[in-house]
């Protein structure tokens, strides 16, 4: 049975539950994993519920069941880095790379690669952290599907992670995607405002709904028409799983190469998912890593002195898989 022990940080956010502390601060198990793995927690040697409110300074012991190790394996994988500083890293994720490890998929992910890179930084003394402090989950703020390529940002420290996560939660981040679809929209610009709900026929897929599900909003713009195909620029206002793929299928414009929501295309039968995260605009945190108290516990800066951010836009070019198809379509005219 895997186990973990530490002293709870002090000071700590007032009213912070134990399960949130495990998921958001220690970062070795998510809140869903805490339940799935029957986690047992002890504070100062006494068994407690994961709903227990922490005060700070307690000695915490954790025990859980696991069929496989929950600890991330650092891997030296090639990454196309768009931007990197002491607080964040922005990567142009390649198509086919999974962001987070999952069942039967513990290697070769972006998380594995980022953990390796972070440990190398720590070993070189760049960050001022120790290996024991880094935790096992790199600060990936948002997700891209395995077959979606493009811009994704991660944080190198907890304060930067909170800074970025707050923007995503408040929907202050602007994300733009390029999609090559089958068909042409009736209007050059439009809004898809349809709720998304998990399919009752296949729990791994989603569909639109008028009443059920979560509100989902996508803006689209026609960039170029190629007769039976179109290049669209998409800006999701919400961030639901498979949102763009489901919304475009609803419009009758399935993304070319989509193995889940589309069909094999007779002209491009070997095409892969033609969806690319082209642009990401948000505030990135400025300043160095937060200071440490003499007892080596993270010092939580009051709101008035927290590092401010710099509004930045990160862009990528369309990948070669787009160019190969669009060049062929252009030559038809």
- Which tokens is 202 given? 């296949």
In DSSP terms, 166 is beta-bridged to none
Peptide bond between residue 52 and the one before it cis (omega within 30 degrees of 0): no
- Calpha distance 144→153 (Å, rounded): 11
Residue 221 CA neighbour count, 13 Å, CB half: 7
- Which tokens is 176 given? 């733009």
DSSP helix, strand, coil percent of the chain (3-state; round to 5): 20, 30, 50
Q: Which of 19, 145, 147, 159 is catalytic?
A: 145
Contacts of 252 (CB under 8 A, 6+ apart): 183
Is the Cα dihedral 321, 326, 329, 331 positive or negative?
A: negative
Extract the runs of DSSP E, i.e. beta strands, from the chain.
3-7, 40-43, 46-48, 59-63, 81-84, 88-93, 139-140, 149-155, 174-182, 189-193, 195-198, 206-209, 217-225, 229-236, 275-285, 309-315
Contacts of 201 (CB under 8 A, 6+ apart): none
85 given a catalytic annotation: no
Residue whose entry in the numeric block shows the structure tokens 């069942």: 103
Burial of 68 (0-12, 13-18, 19+ CB in 10 A): exposed
136, 230, 263, 264, 327 from 271: Cα distances, Å: 36, 15, 11, 8, 14
3-state secondary structure of 112: helix
Q: Which residues are catalytic?
A: 145
């Amino acid at each position: 049975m895997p186990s973990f022990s530490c002293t709870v940080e002090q000071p700590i956010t007032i009213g912070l539950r134990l399960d949130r502390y495990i998921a958001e601060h220690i970062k070795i198990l998510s809140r869903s994993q805490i339940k799935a793995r029957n986690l047992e927690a002890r504070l100062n040697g006494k068994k407690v519920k994961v709903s227990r409110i922490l005060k700070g300074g307690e000695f915490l012991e954790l025990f859980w069941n696991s069929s496989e190790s929950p600890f991330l394996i650092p891997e030296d994988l090639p990454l196309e880095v768009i931007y990197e500083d002491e607080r964040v890293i922005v990567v142009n994720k390649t198509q086919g790379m999974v962001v987070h490890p999952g069942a039967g998929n513990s290697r070769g992910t972006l998380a594995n690669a980022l953990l390796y890179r972070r440990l190398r930084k720590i070993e070189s003394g760049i960050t001022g952290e120790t290996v024991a402090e880094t935790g096992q989950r790199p600060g990936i703020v948002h997700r891209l599907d395995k077959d979606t390529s493009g811009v994704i940002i991660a944080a190198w420290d907890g304060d930067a992670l909170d800074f970025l996560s707050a923007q995503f939660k408040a929907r202050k981040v602007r994300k733009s995607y390029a999609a090559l679809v089958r068909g042409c929209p009736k209007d050059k610009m439009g809004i898809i405002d349809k709720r998304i709900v998990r399919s009752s026929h296949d729990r791994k897929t989603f569909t639109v709904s008028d009443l059920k599900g979560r509100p989902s909003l996508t803006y689209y713009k026609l960039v170029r028409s190629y007769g039976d195909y179109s290049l669209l620029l998409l800006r999701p206002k919400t961030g639901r799983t498979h949102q763009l793929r489901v919304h475009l299928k609803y419009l009758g414009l399935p993304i070319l190469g989509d193995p889940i929501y589309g069909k094999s295309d007779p002209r491009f039968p070997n095409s892969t998912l033609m969806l690319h995260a082209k642009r990401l605009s948000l505030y990135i945190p400025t300043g160095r890593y937060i200071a440490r108290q003499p007892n080596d516990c993270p010092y939580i800066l009051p709101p008035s002195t927290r590092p401010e951010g710099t509004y930045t836009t990160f862009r990528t070019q369309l990948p070669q898989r787009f160019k190969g198809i669009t060049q062929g379509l252009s030559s038809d005219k």
